[in-house]
Amino acid sequence: MELALDQQYLKRCLGSCLAQALAEVVRRRPSDPIEFLAYWLYDYRRKINEKEEKMIEKLHLEEEKNQNEMELQIAEQLKAEEIEFEMKHKEFQRKTSIETFPTPRSHGMSEKIGSWTLPTLEELDEPLLVLSKENITMQKEWIPEEHTDSDAQQDNTKHDKAEHDKTEHDNTTTDTTNLF
C-alpha cells in the first residue's frame, strides 16, 4: 500500500520531471546515476524558477506599460479639457466684453446724408510749466491777505492763552505758599 501512495505522489508532483530525468539517465548512462539524477533535478528546478521569475517580471512590465498608457490617456484628456476650458473662457470673455462695451451702431443718419467726417485737429507744442523760485514766490503773492491775517490772529490767541494759563498757575502756587 505504501508503494502505491509513493507512486501517486511521484506522478502528481514529479510526473513529467521524473520521467524526463530517468530518460536522461538511460540515455547518458552515468557512472553514478543517483548523483546525476540529483543534479539533473536540481538544475530542472532552477530553470523552472527562472522561467517563473521571467514570467512574473514580464507581467509586471506589462502592467507598468498599461498603467503608463492609461496615465498618458488621462494626461491627454486633461490637456484636451484644459484647452476646451480655455477656449470657452476666452469666448465668454469676448461675449462679456461685447455686452459690456457694445460697438457703436450707426443711427441711419450717415447712410442718408453720407459719411460724416470731422476735421482733424493738430496738436500744438505748448511749453511745459516749470516751477521755479519766481513761480513759487508769485504763488505766495496770490494768497489773499485775509488768510495771512487770520493765521496770525490764531497764533496770537494761542500765545495769549498760554501766557494766561501760566500766570494763573503762578497765582495759585503763590496763594498756597501764603497760607503756611
Instruction: Scan for cell 505522489, then name that residue.
Output: 9
Q: In this predicted structure, what is the pLDDT of residue 75?
A: 96
142 close to 135: Cβ distance less than 8 angstroms = no
- Per-residue confidence in pLDDT tens, the chain, 180 aa: 566 767 777 677 777 887 888 888 889 999 999 999 999 989 999 999 999 999 999 999 999 999 999 999 999 999 999 999 999 999 988 888 877 665 555 555 555 555 667 777 677 666 555 555 555 555 555 555 555 555 555 555 665 666 656 665 555 555 554 444
| CB-count burial class (<10 Å; 0-12, 13-18, 19+) for 121 | exposed
The 3-class SS string of 68-82 reads HHHHHHHHHHHHHHH
Q: In this predicted structure, what is the pLDDT of residue 80?
A: 95
Model pLDDT for residues 137-168, shown as the tens digit of each residue: 555 555 555 555 555 555 556 656 666 566 65
Q: In this predicted structure, what is the pLDDT of residue 7?
A: 72
3-state secondary structure of 167: helix
**DSSP label at residue 123:** P
